């Protein structure tokens, strides 16, 4: 039986299968013993055990016991088929085309965004805009705001005239606005701007001058909420008619 085992290892298994089988038997000594008994009792191995090859059926059963998925004929065919499919020349051309398409869209998007940003921050997009002054007075600060509309872009110029007041945030009507950019003009060293979907954080103590750029979603009546220290400053703007 030992000779048969050695012959089967040499003739019927490749190096990877031999290594897998050896590891399997080291982990499962009982399976090793049972497997040898099955081979000894197999009808085709009763005569001339040193020369008869191990039947392919027995080899398949043993290998599938080691790793059902790895040595399953169906799994091997599917794995080979899928591997050949995705490395075929046709797919190589498809990969190149897809990569080029993604790169082209990325370049187009960022170039248009950069152009829009430049126009927005330079003020050229708001040259023919309509502006409304809004003023709020509180014991701690005076908030002067100017709201300008041009097409689908809105700019809010905010001036907070106080040495002690802290501007913490601005909120907008989410149904009508989406924050696009914030440009701080003057402020102390701790000034910071973070844009969100419907609110802007302006963590600044003392005089502050900033411009918030918004994109319009609808021509609704706008409500702008400033938080200055513990005061909530609500400023209202007239309904906006978007020009097409």
pLDDT of 186-195, one tens digit each? 777 666 666 6
3-class DSSP state of 38:
helix
Q: Are 131 and 233 in a shared domain?
A: yes
In angstroms, rounded to a whole number, what is the distance separating the alpha carbons of residues 171 and 210?
Answer: 14
Q: Are 175 and 229 in a shared domain?
A: yes
User: Which of 72, 102, 122 is the endpoint of a domain?
Assistant: 122
Q: Are 108 and 6 in a shared domain?
A: no
Q: Is residue 162 part of a domain?
A: yes
Lowest mean pLDDT among 129-138, 163-172, 229-238: 229-238
Q: Are 182 and 81 in a shared domain?
A: no
Q: Is residue 242 part of a domain?
A: no
User: Which of 86, 114, 137 is the endpoint of a domain?
Assistant: 86
Q: Is residue 71 part of a domain?
A: yes
Q: Are 130 and 117 in a shared domain?
A: no
Asked if the model's pLDDT at residue 180 lies above 70, the reply is yes
Q: Are 73 and 55 in a shared domain?
A: yes
pLDDT, mean over the chain: 66
Q: Is residue 244 part of a domain?
A: no
Lowest mean pLDDT among 8-12, 132-136, 168-172, 227-231: 8-12
| Per-residue pLDDT tens digits for 10-49 | 555 667 766 776 777 677 766 666 666 555 544 444 444 4
Average pLDDT estimate for 199-221: 74
Question: pTM surpassing 0.85?
Answer: no
Q: Are 158 and 203 in a shared domain?
A: yes
Structure tokens at 179: 């924050």
Q: Are 151 and 202 in a shared domain?
A: yes
Q: Are 107 and 46 in a shared domain?
A: no
Q: How many domains does the chain have?
A: 3
Q: Is residue 97 part of a domain?
A: yes
Query: What is the pLDDT, as a whole number, of residue 110?
Result: 65
Average pLDDT estimate for 83-91: 58
3-class DSSP state of 158:
strand
Q: Are 59 and 136 in a shared domain?
A: no
Asked if the model's pLDDT at residue 201 lies above 80, the reply is no
- Among 10-14, 61-65, 172-176, the range with the most confident prediction by mean pLDDT is 172-176
The secondary structure of 59-125 as a DSSP string is HHHHHHHH-TTTT-HHHHHHHHHHHHHHTSHHHHHHHHHHHHHHHHHHHHHHHHHHHHHHHHHHTGG
Q: Are 52 and 148 in a shared domain?
A: no
Q: Are 52 and 17 in a shared domain?
A: yes
Q: Is residue 155 part of a domain?
A: yes
Write out the residue range of the structural domain in which residue 97 sits: 91-122
Closest CA to 117 of 169, 153, 157: 153
């Amino acid at each position: 039986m030992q000779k048969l085992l050695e012959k089967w290892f040499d003739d019927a298994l490749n190096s990877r299968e031999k290594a897998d089988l050896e590891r399997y038997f080291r982990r499962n000594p009982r399976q090793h013993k049972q497997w040898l008994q099955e081979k000894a009792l197999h009808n085709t191995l009763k005569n001339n055990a040193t020369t008869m090859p191990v039947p392919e059926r027995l080899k398949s059963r043993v290998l599938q016991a080691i790793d059902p998925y790895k040595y399953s004929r169906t799994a091997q065919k599917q794995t080979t088929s899928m591997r050949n499919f995705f490395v075929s020349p046709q797919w190589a051309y498809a990969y190149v085309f897809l990569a080029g398409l993604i790169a082209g869209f990325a370049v187009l998007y960022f170039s248009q965004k950069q152009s829009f940003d430049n126009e927005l921050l330079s003020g050229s997009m708001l040259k023919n805009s309509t502006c409304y002054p809004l003023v709020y007075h509180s014991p701690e600060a005076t908030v002067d705001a100017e709201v300008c509309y041009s097409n689908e872009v809105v700019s809010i110029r905010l001036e907070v005239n106080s040495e002690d007041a802290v501007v913490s945030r601005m909120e907008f009507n989410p149904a009508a606005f989406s924050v696009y950019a914030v440009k701080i003009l003057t402020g102390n060293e701790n000034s910071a701007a973070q844009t969100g979907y419907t609110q802007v954080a302006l963590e600044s103590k003392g005089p502050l001058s900033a411009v918030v750029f918004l994109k319009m979603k609808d021509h609704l009546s706008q409500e702008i909420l400033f938080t200055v220290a513990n005061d909530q400053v609500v400023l209202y703007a007239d309904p906006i008619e978007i020009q097409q």
